Amino acid sequence: MCQEKLVQEAVDTLLDNGIRGQPMRDGLSLLLHRCGLPRKIEIELFQTFLISGLIRNHFASSIGVSKSKIREKEPIVWEILQEVMRGHPVLLNRAPILHRLGIQAFQLILVEGHAICLDPLVCKGFNANFDGDQMVIHVPLSLEAQVEDRLLMFSQTDLLFPAIRDPISIPTQVFVQTSIQGFSRADSYGI
């Protein structure tokens, strides 16, 4: 019974979501090692950490009070979430994983909307594009797993395909065209 409950909780927290490549509006750029996750997903993924953070910092007296603060999305919840996310990587993978680059670690940024935001240059490792592809998000729990993710799995450390040593991050025609359009728009604003 206990094992069944744990498996169900693990399945409940696995989140499938579409990806998009979009410039950030809040000034934080999507570097190779960053991904933007919607607030709703981050609250779900980090709920346990949020609850313990609210109790530890004396903003809530119990788990029930913490859950109600999270449900009501009180301002302190966003502050605690930012604190929790600061040093916590996540793993993204897109099935099927055909090689080591099919699962990569990223630093989180809060975004609005419903899609995972990625730098277009990391998509080739996932064999992904922005036409509705789904990705699974994993949260490493132990400190050892987090250190391993930072050292071995951050997308910025995998710049070459492991087997053939060719560069992964080659701008595609769509990426180049989007960049040119962005520069043209900036030019029309006198920038």
- Work out the number of other CB atoms within 10 angstroms of the CB of residue 179: 12
Assess if residue 144 is contained within a domain. yes
* Residue 55: per-residue pLDDT: 92
* Residue 187: per-residue pLDDT: 47
- Containing domain of residue 20, as a range? 2-46+88-158
* Residue 88: per-residue pLDDT: 85
**Whether 34 contacts 28, CB under 8 Å:** yes
Give the distance, in angstroms, between the CA of residue 45 and the centroid of all CA atoms in the same chain. Answer: 10
Assess if residue 137 is contained within a domain. yes
* Residue 14: per-residue pLDDT: 44
Assess if residue 76 is contained within a domain. no
* Residue 29: per-residue pLDDT: 57
Buried/exposed 55-71: b ≥16 CB within 10 Å, e otherwise = eeeebbeeeeebeebbe
- Residue 27, judged by CB atoms within 10 A of its CB (0-12, 13-18, 19+), counts as exposed
pLDDT beneath 50: ranges in the chain: 1-16, 20, 23-28, 173-174, 186-191
What secondary structure does DSSP assign to 67-82, as a single string?
HHHHHTT-HHHHHHHH
Assess if residue 82 is contained within a domain. no
Query: What is d(CA 43, CA 77) in angstroms, rounded to the nearest whole number?
Result: 9
Read off the CATH number of the domain in which 30 is found.
Answer: 2.40.40.20
Assess if residue 172 is contained within a domain. no
Assess if residue 66 is contained within a domain. no
- Of 47, 36, 45, nearest to 112 (Cα)? 36
Assess if residue 99 is contained within a domain. yes
Rounded alpha-carbon distances, angstroms, from residue 189 to 50, 68, 183, 184, 186: 42, 45, 10, 9, 5
Assess if residue 166 is contained within a domain. no
**Whether 119 contacts 32, CB under 8 Å:** yes
Number of domains in the chain: 1
